[in-house]
Amino acid sequence: MTVRAWAELLRVSALFTVPGDALAGAAAVGRRPNRSTALAVGASLCLYEAGMALNDWADRDEDAVDRPHRPIPSGRITPRAALTAAGALTAAGLALAARAGRPALTVATGLAATVWAYDLHLKHTPAGPAAMAAARGLDLLLGATATATAPVASVSAEAPVAAVSAGASASAGASARAVLPAALPAAAMLTAHTYAVTAVSRHEAQGGSTTAPLAALGAVVALGGAALRERQGKAGGSPYPGRGGAGAPGSRAGATAPAGARTGSGGAGATAPAGARTGPTAPARLLLTALTGAYLRTAARPLGHAVLNPSPPLTQRAVGSGIRAMIPLQAALAARAGAPGTALAVMGLVPLARSLARKVSPT
């Protein structure tokens, strides 16, 4: 068993599409990435790789016919080793999520169950694309939940341990319920993209379908248009839900801005003329436009080629590009939520993904 065989089994070139899920989730709930976000990223990576190993284990007989070069049918990795890796990676992912808190573990458990259900049964049913898409949406919500429920205040040394524990647990649950709705639009957009790409991937071995890539192309264009519609709100609250507004995790309740002061993100207590609206600055709009353009350029062109010629090579190329397009989509979602720094950090993964994809196929 060689390092390259495991790299192919785990599709390591696609790994760079995973961290952006949690980071986009953190941006969606208006929190900067923290230790819990890092734990969510680690959990996501483990569960993603568990799904890759389990996928090839479940498809070993089919791959022996359609893809005999894959690690298991070629004999470079045994089915038992692949299944063991899937189980170990799942356990590691859940352990990391547990360290981020009970709410994060709950979401991670649902994500793990979805991954295993997809690979073992749902993949070859009409529910397959929906299951895969749900897994991506849950991955973003995992990052949002872990980040939103991270501790944000110190505790007095005199406070009883039991009271502190109970209070922290209740606060985490309340925080998750309060901010998760803000992450749902981003999760829905990532889910829609994943559904479209997965529907195309069902034809990548045989080709011949123009309907799936055409529908995916339409979905990509629609998602690009949706990403450009910034989430704006009334002045006095954050223009991006959950970011710096009153009651947002980490905000200082009751803080007020000096009279006449200009507030950037609409911090708690900010005042503005009734009915006035705030929005992103010109540089923020420019960044969002550039990231959305990168998303469309990465995903749309290969899909167009697959529509015109639905051969296996072009269909596989469209699927690979659709997977890599998740990175600029995640970055656009972060920018749309008012987190340009996070967006640029996510886009920094693009060269790494592109470079590794030349050596190991992401599909």
**Secondary structure (3-state) at 40:** helix
Residue with tokens 């734990």: 39
91: which 2 tokens? 């356990």
pLDDT tens for each residue of the chain, 363 residues long: 588 899 999 998 889 999 999 999 999 999 999 999 999 999 999 999 999 999 999 999 998 988 899 999 999 999 999 999 999 999 999 999 999 999 999 999 999 999 999 999 999 899 999 999 999 999 999 999 999 988 754 333 433 434 334 444 555 555 666 667 889 999 999 999 999 999 999 888 777 789 999 999 999 999 999 999 865 433 333 434 444 443 344 443 333 343 444 444 444 444 444 444 455 688 989 999 999 999 999 999 999 999 999 998 999 999 999 999 999 999 999 999 999 999 999 999 998 888 887 777 776
pLDDT value at residue 231: 56
Cα gap 122→118, rounded to integer Å:
4
pLDDT value at residue 360: 78
State if pTM tops 0.85: no
218: which 2 tokens? 């339409």
pLDDT per residue as tens digits for the range 80-98? 999 999 999 999 999 999 9
pLDDT value at residue 359: 77
Cα gap 150→67, rounded to integer Å:
44
Cα gap 276→273, rounded to integer Å:
5
pLDDT value at residue 265: 42
Query: Residue 50: which of 84, 23, 16, 75 has the closest Cα?
Result: 84
